[in-house]
Chains A and B, each alone.
Chain A
Amino acid sequence: MGPYFPMSRITHPRAPSFLLACAVFLNGCQPAENAEVVEFWAFGSEGEVARELAGEFERRNPEIRVEVQPIPWSAAHEKLLTAYAGGNLPDVFQLGNTWIAEFAALRALEDVAARFENTGRKGDYFEGPLDAAVVDGRMLAVPWYVDTRILFYRRDLLEAAGVAVLPRSWDAWFEAMIRVRERHGDFGLFLPIDAWEVPVIFAMQQGAVLLRDGNRHGDFLHPDFRAAFDFYLRWFREKLAPAETSGQVANLYREFGRGYFTALITGPWNLGEFRRRLADLDASAWDTAPLPSFDGSYPGVSLAGGASLALAAGSTRKEAAWKLIEFLTAPPQQIRLYRLTGDLPPGRTAWTDPALAGDHKAQSFRRQMDRLLPPPKIPEWERIASRIAAYAEKAARGEMAPLGGLEALNDEVDRILEKRRWLLERGR
């Protein structure tokens, strides 16, 4: 796990795609010498398959050559910022959704609203991911894939504890976990103690807005946030969640298989991982489900994470670059990306493909897709999120009283947002 992935995702090496690229090369599909060159940066496992995706694009558009640069997630943010500072941003680049606001503040992104409108695909997208790409009314990127959080749970352990129907509210989940523990020992839910996602999801579900006055001040002392925070801490207080970081659980899959915990809240990449690594566990022993809620609605809200493709404002080849974005985000390519990496499509059409439509465990993500909210879209968000994680950890470990922690968090967030307030006052 690197320091600052958008919604901290784990990437795993996959088969290199250069073999395929070579095959393309040998087939004589090499584009013309005088082809226009579009630079494209992609990260992590998307970076590993980007060459393969771009190869297809080059076959269809021989007048454009794509220069792909794969970059590991852990280096991506720094690399993009230094490229920006040096005036070397590529024409097209992948952007973690939580970074869009930051690059918007840098004025590094082209508004693609009009171009996107022309594709006629707008209605195909789920609202959550589409909204994540819009900052201050400007559409600055096109959703490429969605990353959100849902429940992965051990159906067999729940049933053995007499919980026949999957609970749809958090209170019912809490009760169910206590019953599972009575019967089975160990823990109910695994919540990495050093992550911000779950406290933030609980808060959004309680209706907390996190920041107030147009994202000028922290709002962490609001009763809604406090209720969510208290519920989050209850899992640790009642010893229903182990006080462990994600890095500490030596082998998440093995522990899940052993029943060290019954459920966890995690993202799409674990669909493939669980299938691969839980080979000795019967496929019906575990399942996925959208998130429960506090208010009885179902599914409950989850985070709209993932990544989008952005067009650099300083690009001198915007037409060709847009063509590449349009190609990569089209439904057939969304499916292709899913097959290659397990990344979930942000559009409805792709979800009707047999690969996804027939996959019961993936369909839980499809149902979750209707209830997604992005975190606040300001450049300071990742920093604020890291402070939420820090104070949540301190409170969960009992090093700080919950209220004292939230007061300190609120003060710190107000300090972080000081520059933003100053800029807004002056209309810059």
Chain B
Amino acid sequence: MRFNPAFWFVAPALALLVVFFFLPVGAALGLSFTDFDIYALADIGRLRFVGLDNYRRLFGDAEFWTALWNTLYFVAVGGPLSVLVSLAAALLVNHRLTPFKGLFRSLLFLPVVTTLVAVAVVWRYLYQPRYGVLNYLLGGFGIGPVDWLGDPDWAMPAIILMAVWKNFGFNMIVFVAGLQSIPESLYEAASIDGAGARQQFLYITLPLLAPTFLFVAVITMIGHFQLFAEPYVMTQGGPAGSTLSIALLMYQQGFRWWNLGYASAIAFVLFGIVLLSAVFLALQKRK
């Protein structure tokens, strides 16, 4: 049997993918049908094949539904907000009247490359209910102190605010690239035809940004579904489980309690949700 020469060119990459991606994923899928835990770690004879039990249990697990709800909240509110902020920032730094474009771009990109743990420490000070700057400023408007990270109703908005601030720079850069690929001549033609700034934005900028939009939306959504680090360092999922995300629940089950079977099932459910949403989003946009 003779292989197409192209096979040998992709073989190294393929081998790496198989060994470091497909095999572990396959193993995790297998694991999700077992009750692998601390007992099984000691003695494989204590491992039970449980079929779909982990999945069944998951759908009866109040913690999972809390985590799913929190994650959807984060995706539905944080995702669009993040995209809008990035777009606004991109339009601002890309505007021809803006001076020092490079400087502003770098400054707005800085949070993306800053270590999250350091960011979290600073934001915890900002959010501090009695001495924090945020409440001090709000107090100036006569708004009573908000217990940002301690009140179950406010913890998720606080996490969203921080996540948007931390991550909008990346999408901003993508949008800037998209904006710069729109030919200047289109704007010139439009302004000769008498189109104002609003019309130019609605009928030239937005349609031509559509491919960029789709990319940003899908990437942002996938990223937001995997919410983990922010609640992990800020709240540990609290208060009262209000910032527990699916990825955080998976981590706790897997690496804190060593229920690897159950954690694998959570991972696959999360994967299914993300896959469906991404396909759905892509189809919507294509219409």
User: How many angstroms from the CA of A382 to the CA of B258 in the assembled complex?
Assistant: 12
Which A residues touch B57, using CB under 8 A? 415
A244–B150 CB distance below 8 A: yes
**What A residues does B42 contact at CB under 8 A?**
105-108
Q: Cβ of A85 < 8 Å from any Cβ of B? A: yes
Give the distance in Å from the alpha carbon of A248 to the alpha carbon of B235 in the complex. 10
Binds B, one of A136-144, A199-207, A336-344, A392-400: A392-400
Instruction: State the CA gap A243–B238 with chains docked (Å).
Output: 13
Q: Is the CB of A250 within 8 A of B38?
A: no
Q: How far is the CB of A253 from chain B (nearest CB, A)?
A: 14
Whether B37 lies near A419 (C-beta < 8 A) is yes
Which residue in B38, B240, B256 is a CB contact (below 8 Å) of A399? B240
CB 8 Å contact bits of B118-161 with A (1 = contact, 0 = none): 00000010001111000000000000000101101000000000
By the criterion CB–CB under 8 Å, are A423 and B257 in contact? no
> Hey, which chain B residues are within 8 Å of A245, CB to CB?
150, 238-239
Residues of chain B in range 230-287 having any CB-CB distance to chain A below 8 Å: 235-236, 238-241, 252, 255-258
Minimum distance in angstroms from A49 CB to a CB of chain B: 26
Which of B38, B128, B150, B235 sits near A105, CB closer than 8 Å?
B38
Instruction: List residues of A (236-293) whose CB comes within 8 Å of B's CBs.
Output: 243-245, 247-248, 250
**For residue B17, which residues in chain A have a CB less than 8 angstroms away from its CB?**
none
What residues of chain A lie closer than 8 Å to B46, measured between beta carbons?
423, 428
Residue pair A106, B239 in contact (C-beta under 8 Å): no
Specify which chain A residues have a CB less than 8 angstroms from the CB of B149 in the assembled complex.
247-248
- Which residue of chain A has the shortest Cβ distance to B241 in the bound complex? A390
Chain A positions within 8 Å of B130 at CB level: 250
B35, B129, B152, B257 interface centre (most CB from chain A within 10 Å): B257
Contact B236 A3, beta carbon cutoff 8 Å: yes
Interface residues on chain A, number (Cβ under 8 Å):
34
Q: What's the minimum C-beta distance from A392 to chain B, rounded to whole angstroms?
A: 10
B38 adjacent to A102 (CB under 8 Å): yes
Q: A167 in the interface, Cβ–Cβ < 8 Å?
A: no
Q: Decide if A408 is an interface residue (CB 8 Å cutoff).
A: yes
Partner of B239 from A194, A382, A408, A423 at Cβ < 8 Å = A194
Q: Is B45 an interface residue, CB under 8 A from the partner?
A: yes
Q: Whole-angstrom distance between the alpha carbons of A274 and B139 in the complex?
A: 32
Q: Nearest-CB distance from B24 to chain A (Å)?
A: 15
Distance of A422 Cα from B53 Cα, bound (Å): 16
**Is B129 a contact partner of A81 (Cβ separation < 8 A)?**
no
Interface residues of B in 28-58 (CB under 8 A from A): 35, 37-39, 41-43, 45-46, 48, 57
Contact check, B37 vs A106: say whether CB atoms are below 8 A apart.
no
The reply to whether A250 and B128 contact each other, CB–CB distance below 8 Å, is yes
Partner of B256, one of A3, A247, A419, A422: A3
Whether A78 sits at the interface, judged by CB under 8 Å, is yes
Cβ-based interface call for B62 (8 A): yes
A84 contacts chain B at the CB level, 8 A cutoff: yes
Residue from A105, A108, A247 within 8 A of B39 (CB atoms): A105
CB–CB B41/A84 < 8 A: yes
Q: Is the CB of A397 within 8 A of B239?
A: yes
Which residues from B are CB-within-8-Å of A415? 57
Which listed residue, A78, A379, A393, A397, touches B38 by the CB 8 Å rule? A379
A115 lies within 8 A of chain B by Cβ: no
Given A4-B256, A245-B238, A250-B128, the answer on whether A106 and B38 have CB atoms closer than 8 Å is: yes
Nearest CB of chain A from residue B44's CB, rounded to whole Å: 12
Query: Would you call A383 an interface residue if the criterion is a C-beta within 8 Å of the partner chain's C-beta atoms?
Result: yes
Please state if A397 and B240 are interface contacts (CB–CB under 8 Å).
Answer: yes
B42 to chain A, nearest CB (A): 4
Question: In the complex, are the beta carbons of A248 and B150 less than 8 A apart?
Answer: yes
A393: chain B residues within 8 A (beta carbon): 238-240
Cβ–Cβ contact A419 & B39, under 8 A: yes
- In angstroms, Cα B235 to Cα A428, docked, is 39
| A397 / chain B contacts, CB cutoff of 8 Å | 152, 239-240
Chain A residues in 8 Å Cβ range of B129: 248
Question: Interface readout for A88-102 with B: 1 if CB under 8 Å, 0 if not?
Answer: 000000000000001
B47 to chain A, nearest CB (A): 10
What is the CA–CA distance of A416 and B81 in the complex, to the nearest angstrom? Answer: 39
**Which residues on the A side are within 8 Å of B238 (C-beta)?**
194, 245, 393
Nearest chain A CB to B138 CB, angstrom units: 17
26 contacts between A and B (CB under 8 A): A77-B256, A78-B255, A81-B38, A84-B41, A85-B41, A106-B41, A107-B43, A243-B150, A247-B149, A247-B235, A248-B147, A248-B149, A250-B128, A250-B131, A379-B38, A379-B39, A383-B256, A383-B257, A393-B240, A397-B239, A415-B57, A419-B35, A419-B37, A419-B39, A423-B39, A428-B46
Extra contacts, 7 of them, besides A3-B256, A379-B39 (Cβ < 8 A), are A77-B256, A81-B38, A105-B38, A106-B42, A245-B239, A247-B235, A379-B38
